[in-house]
Structure 1
C-alpha cells in the first residue's frame, strides 16, 4: 500500500510507510499545551495515528475561567499517515522541530482556534520508555519534549482571545512506539495495570527552560527519569534528582515538589488549584480513549467540564495537568517561571506513602 509518506526518505524497513510496523499497539502522536501566565486561559491539543488499528484521532480543549471545553474527533485512517486532519482539527508541520500549527475549523461547538507554536530551544529527547510485565511488552516508545511560544487566536463563541509568544508559552511533545491503545485487551498481562506513577514537569523561564519527568515503580524507584535545564542560547545541562514532594491531605494531588539538580541549584514547584483534565484529550476516557474505532468514517463530539468536575475522584479526573509556579535558584539567584505539573498516580508508591489502587495521601 503506497501513500504520500513513501515519497520521503524516511523508511526504516523494506515495507511501505503505511505498514512498516506490524505491532497492533503501535502509535504516533502529537501533544500541545499553552497558557497565559495567570492561567486564565489554558488550551491543549493532541493528534494520534494508529496504523494497525486503521484509526486517526484528535482533540482540542480550551479552559477559560475554570470551564473546560472539549472537542474530540476520530476517523478511519485509510492507510494515509501524512493527512493530519480529523474533522475540524488539523495539525501542520511548518518547520520540523521548530514551528507547528494547530487549527480548529468550523464545527458544531463554540470553539475555534488558529495557533502556531514556535520552539524556544532544541527538542529534548527523553530516555526510551520500555516496560514489560513478565514476558509481555507493555510499553516501548520514544518521546521528545519542547517548550515554546504561541501566536494566533482562540475563540469560544463571540469571545476571541489573541495569543502572542511573549505572553503565552507552552509545551509540545511527540511520541511514537508501543503502548496500550484502542479497545482494552481481553486478557491483560497480570490482570491489567495496577501501578503507574507518572510525573511530568516542563517549565518556561524568561531566559531558559527546565524539564523533569519520572516514571516510578511501586517502591518509588524510577524506571525512567530525566531532567534538563537549558539556557535559550546555550547548551543544556542534564540532571537526575531525587524528588521531595508533598500531597494535599486526602488526595493524590501534589501540593509541592522540590528538586536539587546539582550543588547550589534547587527547583521549587508549587502547583496551583487550576487543573486541566487530560480526559478531554482522550486519556483514560471510556469512549474516546486513544485509537478507539467509533464505527463511522468520522465521529465528532463536544462536551464541557464544569468547575466542580474534579470534586469527586473518578478515572475521568484522575489524570491532570496543574498550572504551576517554579523558582529555579542557581548560586543564590532566583529565576521565576511557569509551567505544568502532570500527574497520574495509580496504585502504591511507597516513597511518598501512597497505598492501594487509589487510596489518598494522608
Structure 2
C-alpha cells in the first residue's frame, strides 16, 4: 500500500515505504522516550515500534512515582492496514517540526497512565553504525540517533497530574536488525550472554555497557562505550556540545563506577570524556529513583507469553498491564510475588558538568562477570 512517504524522492529500493527492503524477520523501526521530574518524583518511559516483516505494531507506557513501583502497559496490534499517523490504542506520536518538536500523546484510558508531551531536543546525535557477525551470519546491522532536550506538557501517574514546562527528556530512534528484537533469534553456536542485544559483540563473553545522554543549561552530550568482561573496548561513540555551538566528537573515555553494595546496579559514576578538540570533560552522574526494569516494556521476553517484542499476538489490539515492586535497588518483585534481577535496567540520573547541574538518562548494564570491577554474574 502507498503511504505519504511514497510522495517523497527518498526511496531506497523498488519497494514502497510500507515494505521493508530486507527480508530478515527481525527488521524493526522503533523509538523510545523517557521523561523525569528534576527531583525524580515522577517519571515516564514510553515507545512504539513497527515490524514490517511480521505485520506487528507494538508499544509500551511505563511510569514511576517515587522509588517504589513501576506501572506497565504493553500494547500490540496488527500493523496493517497502516493508518497515518500511527496509532496504538490510546497512543500516537506527531512530528510538527522534524528534529525540533515531537509530540507524544496517550489519551486518558482504561489501561494505565496518560500524557500529552511536547519534546524539544537541544542536541541530536546520529551514532556510528552498529554492525556485527558471528558463526557466518550478520546478527547486528542497525542505526540509531539519540536526542536530549526539554519537555513541556502534562503527565498523569496513578491519578496524580503533573504539569510542567521544562523537564528533561531523552529519546532514541533506531532501525534495522539486531538480536532479540522482532521474534526468535536464530542460534548458530555462539551464545549471546544475558539475551542483551549489545552482548552479541563479545562473542559469548560478558560485557559492560556504559551510556549517558545529558543536558544542562549550557552543555549537552552523549557518552557511550561497550567493553568486554576483561575491559577490552568493543565500541565507543558520543559527542559534547556547548550551548548552540558545534558538537565535538568523543575520541576517548574512562569511567569509575560505584555500585550499590552487593548488587550490579550503580549508585554513581564519574565519567571522563575526551573530545576531538582536546577538551577533557568530567561528568558526575548520580542515580535518581530506580532504574527502569525494561521487562515491563516487553523487552527481555517481558510479555506474559514470554515471546517478547515484535511477536504476533492477535488480530486486534492486545493490552497487558501489571505493576512491579522496584523498591529494592536491584531486585524486582513481579505481581505473582516472584523476585527477579533483570539485566536490562536504564537509570534516570542527575548530571553535573563543570559545576552546572542537569539531568540525564544512563543505561549501565553488566552482562555476565566483570573483572575490572570484581563483579560476579548475577542470576
Do they superpose with TM above 0.5? Answer: yes
- Specify the alignment match of 1:248 in structure 2: 260
Worse-matched range after superposition: 75-84 or 222-231 = 75-84
Q: Does 2:110 align with 1:108? A: yes
Query: Partners in 2 of 1:164 and 1:135 — Cα distance?
Result: 50
After TM superposition, the structure 1 stretch with the greater mean CA deviation from structure 2, 178-187 or 211-220, is 178-187
Q: Which residue of structure 2 lines up, in the alignment, with residue 54 of structure 1?
A: 55
CA distance in 1, matches of 2:341, 2:29: 23
Aligned twin of 1:178 = 177
Change in CA separation of 1:315 and 1:226 when aligned onto 2, cut-off 3 Å:
farther
Tell me the SS of whatever aligns to 1:21.
Answer: coil
> TM-score with structure 1 length normalisation?
0.88
The answer as to 2:209 corresponding to 1:210 is no
Q: Normalised by the size of structure 2, how large is the TM-score?
A: 0.85
Task: Return the match for 2:313 from 280, 294, 315.
Answer: 294
Contact 2:267 2:287 in 1 (8 A): yes
Q: Who is 2:368 aligned against? A: 347
Describe the SS at the equivalent of 2:290.
strand
Return closer, same or farther for 1:246/1:141 CA change in 2, 3 Å cut-off.
Answer: same
Q: CA RMSD in A?
A: 2.3
Structure 2 counterpart of 1:118? 120
> Larger deviation: 168-177 or 347-356?
347-356
Answer yes or no: is 1:312 the counterpart of 2:324: no
- Evaluate the alpha carbon distance shift between residue 70 and residue 104 of structure 1 in structure 2; reply closer, same or farther with a 3 A threshold: same
Distance 1:292 1:244, change over 3 A: same
- 2: CA distance between counterparts of 1:248 and 1:214? 21
Matched residues in 2 for 1:335 and 1:204: separation? 10
How far apart are 1:83 and its partner, in Å? Answer: 4.2
User: Are 1:7 and 2:7 an aligned pair?
Assistant: yes
How far apart are residue 210 of structure 1 and its match?
A: 2.5
1:156-195 deviation digits (Å, cap 9, x = unpaired): 3542111212xx1111111111113233336354244353
Q: Following the alignment from structure 1 to structure 2, what is the Cα–Cα distance between the partners of residues 109 and 315?
A: 24
- Contact 1:271-1:340 at 8 Å conserved across structures: no
Instruction: List alignment gaps of at least 5 residues for structure 1.
Output: none
Does structure 2 conserve the Cα–Cα contact (< 8 Å) formed by 1:18 and 1:81? no
- Any residues of structure 2 matched to 1:191-210 within 5 Å, and which? 191-193=191-193, 194=204, 195-210=206-221
1:1-362 paired onto structure 2 within 5 Å: 1-19=1-19, 20-66=21-67, 67-78=69-80, 80=82, 83-121=85-123, 123-156=124-157, 158-165=159-166, 168-180=167-179, 181-185=181-185, 187-193=187-193, 194=204, 195-239=206-250, 240-262=252-274, 265-287=281-303, 289-308=308-327, 312=331, 317-329=342-354, 334-356=355-377, 358=378
Say if 2:348 and 2:360, in contact at 8 Å, map to a contact too.
Answer: yes
What secondary structure, in the 3-state scheme, does the structure 1 residue paired with 2:323 have? strand
Relative distance call for 1:110 and 1:74 in structure 2 (3 A) is: closer
Pair 47,140 (structure 1): closer, same or farther in 2 beyond 3 Å: same
CA change 1:138–1:186 in 2 (3 A) is closer
Q: Assess, with a 3 A threshold, how the Cα gap between structure 1 residues 316 and 178 changes in structure 2: closer, same or farther.
A: farther
Deviation at 1:81, TM superposition (A): 7.8
Assess, with a 3 A threshold, how the Cα gap between structure 1 residues 209 and 324 changes in structure 2: closer, same or farther: same
- Aligned pair in 2 of structure 1 residues 283, 105: CA closer, same or farther (>3 Å)? same
Q: Deviations over 1:125-159 (max 9, x none)?
A: 11111122232222111111111111111123542
Query: What secondary structure does 2:187 align onto?
Result: coil
Work out the number of aligned pairs and report it.
351
Aligned-partner Cα distance in 2 for 1:264–1:344: 24
Structure 1 residue matching 2:96: 3-state secondary structure: strand
Separation (CA, whole Å) in 1 of partners of 2:76 and 2:328: 24
